[in-house]
Amino acid sequence: MPQKVISFVTMKGGSGKSTSAMCLAAHWYKAGVRVALVDADPAATLVRWIETGDDLNGLRAAATAPEAVAEQINTLKADGFQRIIIDTPGFRSLATDDAIRQSDLVLVPMRPSPVDFQVAADTVELIDQIVAERATWDGTVRFLMSQTTRGSVIARHMRAQMEAAGYYPLAVELSSRVVYGEAALAGSTPSFYQPRGGATVDIAAFVTEVEGLLSGTPGTGTGIKNRTG
Ligand SMILES: Nc1ncnc2c1ncn2[C@@H]1O[C@H](COP(=O)(O)OP(=O)(O)O)[C@@H](O)[C@H]1O
Ligand SMILES: [Mg+2]
């Protein structure tokens, strides 16, 4: 399994960065993948989450200062981790920029609201600027719809608006479910806490879609706005 770096980035708190990052990591970890987390948010959400219970104790997570993110990624690569997941703060910092530069996949989580969409679109502009400075960057950027109400009109509307604007959301949505918070309270994630529940079904589909993007499945495309050519 080739080494891949995935970061969760958006300039808005509460979008679902930390939750989505932890759920992705935990699902891989449970499946025996060597996965490590870089917690670049000064709030240390992921490190505290793991310390809260037993389920995720074996999952490596390093609280990392912004100026140390690039080096931390290299260290984890040298240590042989197959998947390195970076959680960034809800504001731009050196951590954000370095995470983007070194990522194979940047996920921009957003709740289904016009304000969240605007911030997500601004985030993609920022990503564009950062990677434009690189001679080569063949990473992929995708929006991830989070905390949607299943079957709601607003989620469908936001998805259509994104696609019309040339952005590509993942097909999977991490819809709003109480179990995310309940599992977090127990230092866990749905994959451990409620392995047969609906949230775990969503997370499994999320993992599958991410794996497809990382392995460059033909037809999924790469590039900032999913240029499929
Ligand atoms: N799919 C979801 N369903 C229900 N609650 C969620 C979901 N995703 C995130 N949350 C909750 O929303 C809040 C903000 O999520 P969080 O991942 O911390 O966002 P961010 O890291 O972007 O600030 C948390 O209380 C979290 O438990
Ligand atoms: Mg967070």
pLDDT band at 83 (very low <50, low <70, confident <90, very high): very high
Smallest CA-to-CA distance from 119 within 225, 12, 226 is with 12
* Residue 224 domain flag: no
Q: Give me the pLDDT at residue 228, please.
A: 34
The residues, any chain, with a CB within 8 Å of residue 137's CB and separated by 6 or more, are 101, 131
Smallest CA-to-CA distance from 17 within 76, 88, 68 is with 88
* Residue 223 domain flag: no
189 lines ligand 1 (CB under 6 A): no
For the whole prediction, is pTM greater than 0.75? yes
Share of the chain above pLDDT 90, in %: 83
- CATH value at residue 209: 3.40.50.300
Distance, CA of 190 to CA of 215 (rounded, Å): 25
Q: How far is the CA of 18 from the centre of ligand 1 (A)?
A: 7
Average pLDDT over residues 82-107: 96
Average pLDDT over residues 122-141: 88
Distance, CA of 77 to CA of 72 (rounded, Å): 9
Q: How far is the CA of 195 from the centre of ligand 1 (A)?
A: 19
Q: How far is the CA of 90 from the centre of ligand 1 (A)?
A: 12
* Residue 63 domain flag: yes
Range of the domain at 173: 4-132+140-214
* Residue 200 domain flag: yes
Structure tokens at 36: 């490590």
Q: Give me the pLDDT at residue 225, please.
A: 46
Total number of domains in the chain = 1
* Residue 11 domain flag: yes
For ligand 2, an ion, list residues with CB under 5 A.
17-18, 45
Smallest CA-to-CA distance from 49 within 84, 57, 191 is with 57
